[in-house]
Amino acid sequence: MRIVKGGERQGESPIMKLVMDHARTVFQISLLVTLLLYGYLLYGLFTGQLGTLAHMSAQDQDRVQGNIALVSNLLYLSILILVSSGMVCYYDTAAVGYAFVGVAVLLAYGPPFCMDTFFAQNSMKYTKGPASQATLDLIQFTAFLFGIPGCLQVLARMAVRGYNLQHGQDLTAITHGKNAPKERVPRPLLGVTAKCWQLPYCQKALRSNCPIYHARTRCWKQRVGCMCEDNIVKLATANAASDRAQKPVAAGGFVPLGDLITASAQTERKTIPTRTGPRGVKLPTNPFLTDGQKRERCRNCVIYNEHQRHKYELAAPAVVLIIPLLVWNYFDALKDGLGSAMNSLDGLLAHVSFSVQHGSGNSFFTNAVTGSGAVELAILICCTIIVMSWMLHVLEYLVFTLKM
């Protein structure tokens, strides 16, 4: 079993490969154009030239405003192309979603943060006048063009990954039972409570004579099973041979086949070390392996990993739902915590700042965050989605890597 990483597409057709190559080219070009357009706007904003627009002639004002309008339209178009091509190129990875969310946060709060932190004495000049404020609003608004698709991409990858974990290929290198066929077997309503012989990898030919089945226990609990221990198969085969030997065999002058099978079965029983398990059933035991080695066999067994898949199937929805419920229940506390964190950041910046004006009150950055309920809600929603994704990764690590 293995994880298919983002960008690796097995059996990609020539047409799809051509489309992907062109999409990557479009993505790179649109990224360069977008950076240049942002650079133009930020240059006009941080040099203070937009703040002096009111002192220009009417002709120059019209020219500058026309340039800003043109750049705004081009920026919207380039961002649309950038996001679309990025989603096409990297649709199978959540990294692009995180990147878009990060860019959204940077665009929304980066310019005010830089003004308050590095240009505190001139921050009023940078936001003075309608042209400067309109440019700042434009930059912050484009954050939504990155943030919304980014959040949707993260959610989509969460859903796809969860589905693959439950219904796709396994996530670890299987040593025992790698090519075992699946069989339809009845199982409990909750798959996580199923025993090994109730999972699809248990073979019907062995199940009726398997000691684990007759003990009504789980192979991973006894540290021995049909996929990892040949003695289970031998003992099951010997039991099956004994059953067949009980059937009457017509005599025809030859040694009855049943007698030979019975003798073979008795020999197998004598050569297989056993111990008494649940319900008094004799279970094979391997005295040459330590408990740690037996646990490792289970970790790399197809049956136990199927059990882990059902465990993830039960736990994943709970993890996905509990995070938004906690945020909803403690929304006011989280909002107050966000405000406290911003105030603490202001205090830290005031302490290390070289500007004497810094620290006289809440910064423009903090006021922009804590002064708007919509902004606080947007931040908490983004944080909730990211935490949900991280928690699913933690769950995957616990279930499929640590095999807890």
What string of DSSP letters covers 209-256? Answer: T-HHHHTT--HHHHT--TTT-HHHHHHHHHHHHHHHHTS----SSS--
* Lookup: tokens for 76: 């919207």
Q: What is the pTM of this model?
A: 0.58
Confidence bin at 210 (pLDDT 50/70/90): confident
Mean pLDDT of 266-293: 78
Residues 233, 210 contacting (CB under 8 angstroms)? no
Tell me the two tokens of residue 308.
Answer: 């882990």
* Average pLDDT over all residues of the chain: 75
Residue 14, both tokens:
């020539």
Q: Is the pLDDT of residue 12 over 60?
A: no
Instruction: Report pLDDT for 203.
Output: 80
Predicted local distance difference test score (pLDDT) of residue 262: 47
* In the predicted structure, residue 195 carries a pLDDT above the cut 80: yes
Q: What would the pLDDT profile of 74-124 be if each residue is shown by its tens digit? A: 999 999 999 888 888 877 777 788 888 888 888 887 777 777 666 656 656
CA dist 363 and 367 (Å) reads 6
Of 203, 177, 197, 284, the closest CA to residue 238 belongs to 284
